[in-house]
Every structure is written in structure tokens, then in C-alpha cells.
Amino acid sequence: MLNRKTLFKSKSEKTPIIESCLFSQYSKQKLKCISETYHELAGLYKNIPVNSTFGQREEYLRYMQMNETRQLFSKNLEEISDAVSDVADTMIQVTLPVEHKRRMLVRFLRKHGVVVRDVVFMDGVGCKGNFVDDNGKNSYFDNRISICARLIKGYILSANELAGLLSDFFDRRLVVSLDGARTLSRYYNTLIFEDEPKYTMLSAVSRAVKEGEKISGDNFSIEEYNQNQMIMMVADGMGSGEQACNDSQSVIEFMERFLEAGFGKEKAVEMVNNAFVSQNECCNLTTLDICSINMLTGEADFIKAGAAQSYIKRGEEIIEIDTGTLPIGSMSELGILTTSLRLFEADMVIMLSDGVRDAIELNDADIKNIISKCRYDNPKEFSEYLLHYAINCNKGRVHDDMTILVTRLARVG
């Protein structure tokens, strides 16, 4: 149930815009309680009394190391506490349609066997905002549409077919959101519809394992998070072999879990880094390369922790991305930097592990020039070409693990 508070009237439609809690009051209180518990636990670890007397230097060094670990753990608990609190306070704006348009929609859907009990427009959870499209015109993505509806007996209609009907009615290309129900039945369900992504992408990975090793120390991930947000990651464990693989795999898996739980990219990197710093005796340094693409707007965010440069190929133009921070696990405060820019149709994003960069630069070759002259449009052909070029730079030898992740942006439809 939404806790509604009317804020103001829309000038154009004269319909109320309502600010609503995403959670019921009971659920919000439970989340706040969890947040306060994590905060109190953080305080317990942070405020452990200091022992000022030590018998030997080794005891002092051991204590200082344990104390640093406690402080990092305390910081992580604080981060979790803040994240849970932010979720509890999540607000959305609910706009009620004007009455005559609501009646038109109800009649329109009833002709197709759908009974509508409630319809609202939701903002604050999805993607909304102005941006300049590929033609230089201002574009705008509206908020999401929530409909509580059921089927009339004897009618069969899928959620995707309902999305098509709503697309015709609202003159917007809508798809079914994962946040709501996925099926229509004879019982009322709440379905949420959102704008179809403007872009899609095709990705490919090419890899080579260091000579003498059976397993690569590099790992990667390509996943969709939140609404229309694709995130690619490449992690390169220090050294090679099983230990390097375990380290880079741990970084990728923890990042995936934090992102899936709703943490922001920068916050997730900080928490993973703190975990590695606290375990510096059993984990090596690991580089991390992140590229996040909004499939509605084409906006791309790049975050690097000790990773090699990334490149955007736009025809023959090459844009280099290099934020130059330290690897995961090197220090408690990384000073994370985010580089943002707009991608366009047919743009290609090239992410490399250190092994590829080092092999090409060892041969005094200019990576940007090589990428610019490559004529392959297919990401797999492109990544294979670049991998073979890097290997040939070392006369067919593979002195380090190599990973190349290539993504090409394309318009939907």
C-alpha cells in the first residue's frame, strides 16, 4: 500500500502528482531497524578499547593489523547501514491520469478482454530525463505505467500483447518491466510497463592463457542490472594461474552481488576494495575495469581500478578512457573516479586486460592506431583480430593472460 501525499498539480494535465513511499510503513520500519542494527555493530567494532602495553614489537604489529581489519569491517557495516536506510527512504512520484483519458483507456482495453482496476504513472524508480539524441534533437523518456488488471473470462492475452496495446494507445514503444507481474490471468495482477530500450548491444570476448598455465588469471562479466543498465567488467588478478583466477573471480562475484543488491557502482567498488585490503595476506592485488551503459540514453560510465585503458571506436575516431587509479586491495582509500560520456549507434567499446596492452606496446605499436584501422564491425571478429595481433607482437608467444571484451551499440528495431 502506498503512503500518499499530494504535492502539486501538473499545469498541463491538471492532475495531482503524488509522492509515495516505495514500501509500506511496516516494511519501512523493518528496514530502518536493520539499518540501525548494522550501524550499532559498526560502532562496536570501531570503538574497541586500545591496549597501550605490548610485550614485543611483533605483538604491536599484530595488534595494529587486527585493528586496521576491524576498522575496515566497521566501515563496510556503515556502508551497508547507509544503503539499507536509503532503500527504506526510497520515494516515487505517482501521477494519476486525467479522468477522461483513464476512461478511454479502460474502454479500449475492455474491448480486448482486459478489465482495468487501477492505472498510475510512476517516477523515481525508472529512468527519466532529457538528453540529445543521435540527430541532435532533445528527447525525453516518460515515467513507467503501472496497471492493475485481469482478463475477462474466455479471453487469452499475454503481458507482451498487452504491452503492444498500450504502445498503440499511448504512442510509445512499451515493454513489460521485470518489477511487476509477468502474466495476465482472471485474477487482478499489477503489471508495470516501461519504455523499450533505445539501444541494444552485441558483445564478444576473446582470451588467451599464459604459456605454462592451465587457467586464466583474468575474469569478466556482462550483466543487466536495474532498469535497462548493462554493466561489463574485466578483472585481472596479479600474476597468473589458479591464485590469480581466484582473486579476479572473487572481485567479479562480489561486484555482481553488490550491484544486484542495489548498491551504486562506486560504493560496490569501495566495499570490495575494503574486503581485499583486510585480507591482504591471502589475496593479491587485482585490477578492475567497469563500463556501464544506459540502454535508454546511451550514457556510459567508466570506472577503473588499476586497469588498462579502454577505447571507444567511432568510425576512425578513437576515444581513450584512462582514469589511472590503483588496483583493488592496494590501499583502503582508492579515490575512485568515474568518466562519463554519450555513446552513439555503431560505437564500439574495447576493454583490455594488461596482457594485451603490454604485448602490443612491447612492439612499439600504437594501440589507438591499430583499433582505428580495424574494419571489423562484428565484435567477435574485432576481438579475435586484436588478440591475434597482440600474440603476433610477441612472435606467437603468450607471456601473460589476455582478455579482450568488445561491445557494439545498435539501435532497437
CATH of domain 199-411: 3.60.40.10
353 CB-near residues (< 8 Å, 6+ apart):
218, 234, 236, 287, 289, 307, 308, 401, 402, 403, 404
Q: What integer pLDDT is reported at residue 24 of this predicted model?
A: 66
Determine the pLDDT at residue 281: 54
Closest by CA to 397, choosing from 211, 207, 206, is: 211
What backbone torsions phi and psi does residue 316 show, to the nearest 5 degrees? -95, -5
Per the listing, cell 482495468 goes with: 116
CB of 145 within 8 A of CB of 169?
Answer: no
Domain ranges within the chain, ordered by starting residue = 4-22+92-195, 25-89, 199-411
pLDDT, position 2: 42
Give the list of residues 6+ apart from residue 261 with CB closer than 8 angstroms, or none. Answer: 83
Rounded to the nearest angstrom, the gap between the alpha carbon of residue 391 and the centroid of all alpha carbons in its chain is 32
Determine the Cα–Cα distance for residues 279 and 288; give it in Å rounded to an integer.
Answer: 17
Give me the pLDDT at residue 364, please: 65
State the Cα–Cα distance between residues 158 and 314, nearest whole angstrom: 40
Please tell me the predicted confidence (pLDDT) of residue 74: 78
pTM: 0.77
Helix or strand holding residue 55 (H, E): none
Q: What is the pLDDT of residue 131?
A: 39
Q: Give residue 141's Cα distance to chain centre.
A: 19
Contact 149, 188 (CB under 8 A): yes
pLDDT digits (tens), the chain, 413 positions = 344 333 334 444 455 565 656 566 777 788 788 888 878 877 776 766 655 565 667 766 776 767 777 777 777 778 778 877 877 776 667 787 888 889 999 999 999 999 999 998 887 543 433 334 444 443 434 478 999 999 998 898 999 999 999 999 998 889 898 777 888 999 999 999 988 888 999 999 999 999 999 999 999 999 987 668 899 999 999 888 898 999 999 999 999 988 887 778 988 898 888 778 776 555 578 999 999 999 989 999 999 999 999 999 999 899 999 877 888 988 877 778 889 999 999 999 999 999 999 898 876 678 999 999 999 999 999 999 999 999 998 888 899 999 999 999 999 86
Q: For position 210, what pLDDT does the model report? A: 93
pLDDT at residue number 279: 66
Nearest by Cα to 6 from 67, 68, 94: 94
Nearest alpha carbon to residue 124 among 18, 229, 223: 18
